[in-house]
Amino acid sequence: MSGLVRLLTPLAAFPGASVPHVLSPTGGSCTIDGVTGQITGLCTAKGSISLPINYAALVPIFVLFGGALLLLLLSATLPRKSYASPWPSLPGLWASLTSLAGVGTVVDGLVQWHDVGAASVVPITLGDQLFYDHMSAFFTIMFGAATVLGALMSDGYLVREGLDGPEPYVLMLSASTGAVLMAQAAGLITLFIGLEILSISLYAMTAYHRRRAASGEAGLKYFVLGSFASAIFIYGAALIYGATGSTQYLGIITFLISNAVVHNGVLLAGMGLVIVGLAFKVAAVPFHFWSPDVYQGAPTPFVGYMAAVAKAGGFAGLLRVLMLALPTQTSNWRPIIWGLAVASVVFGSVLALAQSDLKRLLAYSSVSQAGYVLIGLQPGTPGGVTAVCFYLFTYTFMVIGTFAIVGVLQGRGEARNDLSSVRGLAARSPWLAAGLLVLLLGQAGIPLTSGFLGKWVVIAAAIDKGQYALGLVGMLGAAIAAFFYLRVALLMFMPAEPTTATVEAEVPAMAYAGSDLQSVATAGLTGRDTVLVLRAPPTSRLRVPGPTAAVVALCVVFTIFAGVSTPLLSLSHAIALPWYF
Amino acid sequence: MGFPILDVLILLPLGAALGMAALPRRTADATARRLAVGAALLELAFAIWMTVAFKAGPAHAGFQFTSRQSWIGPLGISWYVGVDGISVFLVAVTALLFPVAMASPRVERSARSYLGWMLLLEAACMTTFLSLDAFLFFVAFEVTLVPGYFLIVGGEGPRRGYAASKFFLYTFAGSAFLFVGILATNLLVAAHHVPGTNGSFDIISLARGATHLPLADQELLLAAFGTAFAVKMPLVPFHTWMPDAYTQAPTGGSMVLAGILFKLGAYGILRWGIFLFPRAAVDLAPVALTLAVIGIIWGSVVAAVQKDLKRLVAYGTVAGVGFIVVGLFGFTVQGITGGIVEMVNHGLSTGALFLVVGMVWERRRTFEFSELGGLQVNAPILGWVFIVVILSDIGLPGLNGFVGEFLVLLGTFITHRWWAVVATSGVVLAAVYLLWAYQRVFHGPARAINAGVRDMTWAERAAVAPLLAGIVFIGVYPQPLLSRIQPAVDHLVAHIEQADPNFHIPASGVGHANYAVPADQVVPVVSFSGTGGGGK
């Protein structure tokens, strides 16, 4: 049981945890646990109720959710000349405000990062509900960056699709709020609230493309399955509460350390259900079935945002729950994570091979990417925490950049989603093709990209724990995955082919032939009918909206930068250093 | 520390590759080619300078021109490059082959992207040969796949997409073992706290630590490393990607794939396999030797029955690899020296052979023996070049192949007699399939369609001349090579003998070629730490 003793000691060494300096126990009938900083009873100072609140921890939530409310307020009060914007001459208003909130979150995350090292800072606050530590700051930066990138790349898409307006940005900001809350949560209830805020916003975002049936269908599917997963999660939380008497991570671990649990069936069931709920969010096999349909149907930039944020939020929750609340159960959850990891890497990669739809392919690829994060989580070591955080941060940029490019490629109405839409890209837009090449190679884990370094640290964490088989499976899975990333990369350099499509048209409308239709084969002779058209491959340069181009450039630069330099890795290491056991 | 020549050797082609990508879209192919070849020639000049400045003799067995920068500190990874007798001529032959491959053959598709990928490949190969950090080595080893893939895809063959994917996937899957192996070695060494190790990926630290691991661990790790390198070389059961890749790639691509890229595997097994795990290498040598000997016989036999000239040459390289591995796993100074010389030779000969085969293709648009024949009449110089190159490959005394094969067979005969005996038959078999190929392509009645074939142009002669010069020079006067290679090999053999108390070269002294190793050099593995700027 020496491990448990080890675990207790640093808890007591929480700076400020032993004596919350905001209040004194003398004023009222309250006691403060010297180990966990848990307060029981009502603490009063001079007759008033006072709880130790570190408001700095709340700033990102204020900024993001305040931004969402501000957007709603503006859209409700400003006179609207058009649906999209109060000032049509000022494009990108909503996206700018959203990315401003995102930038604010990033800046606040950086401030937090420097702040949390100080000894006087309480690492757990708001009545033990929120953590205020390196990990929460790291994820805050990540989610802020994802918000900035997501908003910027959505602008061009929404304008093109005629969907511009404040609502999607409100949803995006509230989704980010939920994600930040998940990373900060110090208990299962707060985690659940964050999870729900995130998920419900994402359901709405998925269904946001009003004119595409696939979008609504995907939204409904995501909603039904997602609510089911949420229910499973909260049932698991309830069982854990039943087994340990607390929903707070520190309460759970305190109970598990100080009590020998003889019959741990309820606890294990709760743990299993919580893992299932979160595994659904991160789309790990076998809880991934929603993801291809949702990725295919949802508006493309939102998919990029969702792939990054929902995954990172889910993993932040898993990290905290498994490593903070349930480290005594390591021998029980490690096999589960092992199975999820292997299944995700193998099935994700293999199923991606069979896809002909670009977004479905990327959905399966993100399933296999979740598998790599699970490989890093599986050993349950500080090195694994570093690896998971680093991997998620780099993946955020790779996946957002990829979907930004896909959103441009598919054209108006998401018309061209199949793999052949990337054909001829290298000839049409060489820079865009180069960007996509870097991002794909990054996801494949080719050296000199952040994806390679991510796989390196993740598998190093596994091997450090003697998990050679897991590491080998991961790398062989990477070889399979490389195949489909390369297939896309190769198509970019292939000449484009004419595509066939059936369209509804006035049949004696040979005027079509003037545009991009090479030949028209008619099925009938008069009136409106379905005609089979052969479209000449597009050869003109793709028009990439400025903000989207900026997103792609940023993602590509970051993917290379984080792959050949140390700063991000050092940050990730700092998360693991004060890890709580 | 003087001029950072090795960093320049890596960064120059890398910068040139990026420059190719940044060239304006409308740049003429000829301009792009001039720029790229110019960069490669500058690289060659630097490489020659480095080879000449490289200090020979027993006092200079360590790494020279080393350069070290902290890179990814938290993981113990540094930018650490250096060159010793094992790698110096591989660097030189790389620098020689690339400009030839870029200058000579015509490229059907976009010349600019072809040249850019070639330069990137050159940078990656240089890094692989020069790297003394396992992480850096792995990075470079993997990065070679990307340009390799795009070079094959840019080829002329009808199945190039298939061949390129097969090449990439085979080697990438093989590298999975290397990836896990490197990480495991590093972490196990760190866990054992061997004195003199620092938990980094530095080859010296790894080698010190790895020799202290339990033998079973060492064998598993060597098997992991060996799998990756065996796929890359390729050794026999892992070779099926190779004939497709070599035949589908364009001429220049085949030249560097066969001439340089597969040497990465052979070099890797020596530098990162035998050096890190000498005891395991001695134990597993029979496996490696058996595979190599099977490769020699099988590659030669399959080459002999090919109907296609390029496929014949491709299968011939399987036999060539076999000779190299036979030499390396003999663990004698002659054997390993011979193996290294064979790597250099093979780079020159195979490079030249693919170049000449490419010239045949440019004239006749076919590799089929049934379509060729009687070319000697109209293209006598092409025929003569071809015969010189194949004689070098066969091992005719006076040409480079003889030096390498002789040392290999001699060295391995001392320790692993029967494998060497069987391998010797490969020399005969090589003569069979290569001379027969020559006969079918250049002799016989000239068919009408072959009558109009023109001889080598002056540009083609200029391209092949440096390779022929190398072939003859090494054959006639190998001493400059041997004197630079041997000190490092002496060290390596001493390292093996020291690590494995049961391993002795029979008939003391024979394994140590011309001179005895000074006592202060033999003793501890630690003496490898004297890596700064060429020893004393």
State the pLDDT at residue B490: 86
Q: Does B167 touch chain A (CB under 8 A)?
A: no
Q: How distant, in Å, are the alpha carbons of A183, A221, A225, A313, A399 from that of A293?
A: 27, 8, 12, 21, 17
Contacts of B149 in chain A (CB under 8 A): 486
Name the residue of chain B whose CA is nearest to A474's CA.
Answer: B176
Cβ pair B69, B7 in contact under 8 A: no
The helix (H) or strand (E) run that includes residue A124 is strand A124-125
Residue B157, both tokens: 């063959």
CB–CB of A552/A405 below 8 Å?
Answer: yes
Cβ pair A22, A16 in contact under 8 A: no
pLDDT in 10s for each residue of chain A, 581 residues:
333 333 344 444 444 333 333 334 444 444 555 455 455 554 444 444 455 677 888 999 999 999 999 999 988 887 766 666 666 666 788 899 999 999 999 999 999 988 887 666 667 777 778 888 889 999 999 999 999 999 999 999 998 888 888 889 999 999 999 999 999 999 999 999 999 999 999 999 999 998 889 999 999 999 999 999 999 999 999 999 999 999 999 899 989 989 887 888 999 999 999 999 999 999 998 999 999 999 999 999 999 999 999 999 999 999 999 998 998 889 999 999 999 999 999 999 999 988 999 999 999 999 999 999 999 999 988 889 999 999 999 999 999 999 999 999 988 888 888 888 888 888 888 889 999 999 999 999 998 899 999 999 999 999 999 899 999 999 999 999 988 898 888 888 887 776 666 666 555 544 444 444 444 444 444 556 666 666 666 667 788 888 999 999 999 999 999 988 888 888 888 887 655 55
Q: Per residue in A370-400, pLDDT tens?
A: 999 999 999 988 889 999 999 999 999 999 9
- pLDDT computed for residue B536 by the predictor: 29
State the DSSP H helix or E strand holding residue B286, giving kind and residue range, or none if neither. helix B278-304
| Chain B interface includes A509 (CB < 8 A) | no
What residues have CB less than 8 Å from A331, skipping those under 6 apart? none
CA gyration radius, chain A: 25
Chain A residues in contact with B184 (beta carbon < 8 A):
463, 468, 471
A40 forms beta bridges with A31
- Averaged over successive runs of 10 residues, the pLDDT of chain B (536 residues) comes to 84 91 80 89 93 84 86 85 91 92 72 88 94 93 90 81 87 91 90 80 87 88 93 86 84 86 90 90 90 91 88 88 90 90 91 89 81 80 90 88 88 86 88 88 77 80 89 90 88 83 60 43 36 34
pLDDT at site A538: 67
Q: Which of residues 545-564 of A touch B (CB under 8 A)?
A: none
Which residue is closest to B22 within chain A, CA to CA? A431
Select the residue of B75, B143, B172 nearest A479 (Cβ to Cβ).
B172
Look at strands A48-49 and A124-125 and give their pairing. unpaired
In whole angstroms, how far apart are CA B498 and each of B92, B113, B208, B279, B521? 31, 49, 12, 9, 12
CA B469 – CA B308 distance, rounded (Å) = 28
pLDDT in tens, B299-342: 999 998 988 888 898 888 888 889 999 999 988 888 999 999 99
User: Exposed (0-12), middle (13-18) or buried (19+): which is A140, by Cβ within 10 Å?
Assistant: buried
Query: What DSSP string describes B101-113?
Result: HHHSS--SS-HHH
CA separation, residue B62 to residues B2, B82, B273, B286, B487 (Å): 17, 9, 18, 29, 8
- CB proximity B23 to A under 8 Å: no
Read off the tokens for B317: 């390289």
In a mutational test of the B interface, the residue from A465, A490, A492 whose CB has the highest number of chain B CBs within 10 Å is A490
Residue A310: name the closest of A240, A409, A230 by CA: A230
Q: What is the C-alpha separation between A397 and A377, in angstroms, rounded?
A: 20
The confidence score (pLDDT) of residue B229 equals: 93
CA B361 to chain CA centroid, Å, is 25
Partner-chain contact B168 A456, CB within 8 Å: no
- B277 in contact with chain A, both atoms CB, cutoff 8 A: no
Residues in chain A within 8 Å Cβ distance of B21 = 434
Q: Is the Cβ pair A478, B176 closer than 8 Å?
A: yes
Q: Are strands A44-45 and A39-40 parallel, antiparallel or unpaired?
A: unpaired
The ipTM (two decimal places) reads 0.85
| Per-residue pLDDT at A8 | 40
Q: Domain ranges for chain A, please list them.
A: 2-49, 55-493+544-576, 499-535
Q: Is B46 helix (H, G, I), strand (E, B) or coil?
A: helix
Which residue type is seen at A512?
Y
Residues of A in contact with B148 (CB under 8 A): none
Chain A residues touching B78 at Cβ < 8 A: none
- Give B225's contacts in chain A (Cβ within 8 Å): none
Structure tokens at A515: 């545009």
The beta-carbon neighbor of B176 closest among A457, A479, A490 is A479
pLDDT, tens digit, 9 for 90 and up, residues B471-524: 999 999 988 888 888 888 888 888 888 887 777 665 444 444 444 444 444 333
For A573, the closest chain B residue by CA position comes to B74
* Contact status, residue A102 vs residue A147, Cβ threshold 8 Å: yes
Q: Closest chain B residue to A470 measured between Cα atoms? A: B180
Euclidean distance between CA atoms A475 and A486, whole angstroms: 16
Give DSSP secondary structure letters for B451-466.
Answer: HT-----HHHHHHHHH
Length of chain A: 581
Strand partners of residue B67? B81
Q: Token pair of B211, please?
A: 């020799």
A570 to chain B: nearest residue by CA?
B74
Our CA-based measurement puts residue A16 at a distance from the nearest CA of chain B, in whole angstroms, of 29
Token readout for B85 is 């007798």
State yes or no: cis peptide before B234, omega within 30 of 0: yes
State the DSSP H helix or E strand holding residue A506, giving kind and residue range, or none if neither: strand A499-506
Which of A526, A387, A407, A397 minimizes the C-alpha distance to A156?
A407
Q: Is A495 on the interface with B (CB under 8 A)?
A: no
B73/A573 Cβ within 8 A = no
State how far residue A257 is from chain B, nearest Cα, in angstroms. 29
pLDDT at B155: 76
The number of beta carbons lying within 10 Å of the beta carbon of residue B364 is: 18
- Whether chain A has a CB inside 8 Å of the CB on B73: the answer is yes
Q: Is the pTM of this model over 0.95?
A: no
CA dist A90 and A103 (Å) reads: 20
Rounded CA separation B243/A545 (Å): 46
Q: Find the radius of gyration of the CA atoms of chain B.
A: 22
Q: Does residue A379 have a cis peptide bond before it, meaning omega lies within 30 degrees of 0?
A: no
Pairing of strands B64-72, A517-522: unpaired
Phi-psi map region of B447: left, alpha, beta (phi>0 left; psi -120 to 50 alpha)? beta
| A338-341 contacts, C-beta under 8 A, 24 or more apart | A338/A378, A338/A467, A338/A470, A340/A275, A340/A279, A340/A284, A340/A285, A340/A371, A340/A374, A341/A284, A341/A371, A341/A372, A341/A374, A341/A375, A341/A377, A341/A378, A341/A470, A341/A474
Q: Which residue of A has its CA nearest to B150?
A: A490
Output the six-digit token pair for A223: 């909603």
A31-32 and B77-83 strand pairing? unpaired
- Contacts with B153 from chain A: Cβ below 8 Å: 490, 493
Name residues 115-144 of chain B within 8 A of A (Cβ).
135, 138-140, 142-143
φ and ψ at A75, to 5 degrees? -70, -25
**How far apart are the C-alpha atoms of B86 and B92, rounded to whole Å?**
11
Q: What is the pLDDT of residue A318?
A: 94
Q: What is the pLDDT of residues B210-224, one digit of tens each?
A: 888 888 989 999 999
**Per the CB < 8 Å rule, is B165 touching A453?**
no
- State how far residue B264 is from chain A, nearest Cα, in angstroms: 17
Touching check for B18 and chain A: CB below 8 Å?
Answer: no
User: What is the reported pLDDT for A226?
Assistant: 94
Is any Cβ of chain B less than 8 angstroms from the Cβ of A486?
yes
Cα torsion A304, A306, A312, A318: sign: negative
CA distances from A126 to A11, A38, A75, B326, B515 (A): 18, 11, 32, 70, 78
Measured in residues, chain B has a length of 536
With 0-12 / 13-18 / 19 or more C-beta atoms within 10 angstroms meaning exposed / middle / buried, residue B505 is: buried
pLDDT of residue B527: 34
